[in-house]
A and B are shown apart, each in its own frame.
Chain A
Amino acid sequence: MPREALVIGKTGVGKTAFVLGLAEFLNMKKLEISFLYPDGHKRAEEYRLDHAKRELIGSKRHRTRCLQSIAIELPAGKGKKILTITDSPGLVDGIHEREEVRRAMAQTLGAVRRADVILHVVDVGDFIGDRERGTEEVDKQIAEYASLKGGYVILANKMDLPGAAGGLQTVMDEYIGRQVIPVSVLQKKGFVEVKAFVWRYV
């Protein structure tokens, strides 16, 4: 049974960019991405890495709206193991007015319960200067819940931002006692540590 690492966090923190950055770090040129929609139907499509980056990251048009998984094959003894890295739609605080957003979030929450490893991405920029913007309720709840499961780590993303070191400090203070890995997709930093972490749980 494949092991699943779920990438979660608020909207806009860089989850999709991170997942694709990880794929790039693992030298995957071609990805098979499985899209799992809230209503249950699935679609699989093969992407070249650079195409995936263009298609899936960032603009309002292509915000992650369903679970997107990439499968990674790992050598294991005589055979091989499959690790699934699942990117998810962002979580928001409060109750969203649009049903499709709520359904996407419910789907993500279901995946949280199933996942073997949880990679909780936060944007270190939210923790620079004005602390208030940093940890939202949903992040706190996830940290409390997911850390009971063992395979849980916080990825402090966007470490390339000016003032990131201070932000990282604040993240560590907010999530005291949790494991935090500083990451920058732009500068390709942190992937060694993340890989080491995830691979332990596979």
Chain B
Amino acid sequence: MEIKWQFDRDQARQPDQVLEAVEKGNISAATAVGFFRQIERPVGAHSEAEETARKRLQDIMQELDALIGLGTVKKLISEIRAFVEIQKRRVSEQLATEPLVLHMIFKGNPGTGKTTVARIVGKLFKEMGVLPKGHLIEVERADLVGEYIGHTAQKTREQIKKAMGGIFFIDEAYSLARGGEKDFGKEAIDVLVKAMEDHKDQLILILAGYRDEMDWFLRTNPGLRSRFPIIIEFPDYSLDELLEIADCMLRIRQYRLNQEARQELRAILARKTNGGHEHNGNARLVRNIIERAIRRQAVRLVIQNEITREELIVIVDADIEEAPAGA
């Protein structure tokens, strides 16, 4: 058992006393090192800057960790981070390195976290010095494809310019290849490929969409496949994970479900996830139900003469309603 050893201001100037306390068995080595830290100031602004950068990196990884589910995704991001880190070190030691090709394919149903993770990846890469800005620009086909010859190239280049220095996230990317010969989608793809070549260290592309459609897209465009070495699958959330997400969303807004509301929500989600409808909206579905519940609670309470604080917080089962189709 460690005897409490008071850290004395005077003794702070004598690290030898700290070492003596270790020898005598008054404190452990870990405690001693802790005292050394308090004794010595950080060496110059350089170290402080490093500490803040380290903390920022830590915060971003924690943000990723805090996301519900996505176990494989988190692991893969961790691996990518480690790979980038090691390559950076090798560069600084003038060793041979692998070229950093970090363009990605995100496969999964809507509402499974693709955009959220893309945003975090952008922040991570900025902190690691891989991207200068690390912001996220999200587009879909309509933002890239024009109506006449040359229009597509212009629109696409405009969007690329906005995304320069960060992550260029293209949702439903396969739709660029769906049209026939006269379709301008191909033009967009050509402009994208050229941008990937010309601005290697300034732009990271993430193509996202449903799994089967993305598989088809890559199969029919073999030239593209080789440019996207990182493929991440976003599975549908499980019933428990969806409930956790609901709890999280409510907790942030300082609401909570009562027993019956929770059961009602569970029943609705179970119906949806068992219903066999692949594209059932996942986390977005949960958010819609929650936001609707919050509105319904407001309508319910506003006509009451008196409202208690408790009532303002609790969502009851009458508030929970399946979002109507198309909502």
Contacts and interface: CB of A to CB of B under 8 A. Distances in A.
B40 A93 contact: no
A169 B78 contact: yes
A37 interface: no
A137 B30 contact: yes
Contacts, number: 108
A112 B42 CA distance: 15
Interface stretch (A21-29, A52-60, A94-102): A94-102
Contact of B19 (A109, A177, A178, A196): A109
A113 B95 CA distance: 31
A113 B30 contact: no
B93 A150 contact: no
B95 A193 contact: yes
A46 interface: no
25 contacts: A94-B2, A95-B2, A95-B25, A96-B25, A99-B23, A102-B25, A105-B22, A106-B19, A106-B22, A106-B32, A110-B19, A113-B36, A138-B29, A141-B34, A141-B37, A145-B37, A150-B47, A169-B82, A173-B78, A180-B85, A192-B95, A193-B89, A196-B94, A196-B95, A197-B93
B33 A176 contact: no
How extensive is the interface on chain B, given as a class?
A: 35 or more
A147 B55 CA distance: 13
Interface string A104-142: 011011101100000000000000000000001110111
Contact of B29 (A97, A109, A144): A109
B132 to A, nearest CB: 20
B79 interface: yes
Interface of A: 91-97, 99, 102-103, 105-106, 108-110, 112-113, 136-138, 140-142, 144-145, 147-150, 168-169, 172-173, 176-181, 192-193, 196-197
A109 B79 contact: no
Interface of B: 2, 15, 18-20, 22-34, 36-37, 40, 42-43, 46-47, 50, 53-55, 57-58, 61, 78-79, 81-82, 85, 89-90, 93-95
Given A140-B30, A176-B61, A113 B15 contact: yes
A179 B89 contact: yes
Contacts of A91: 29
A138 to B, nearest CB: 4
B93 A196 contact: yes
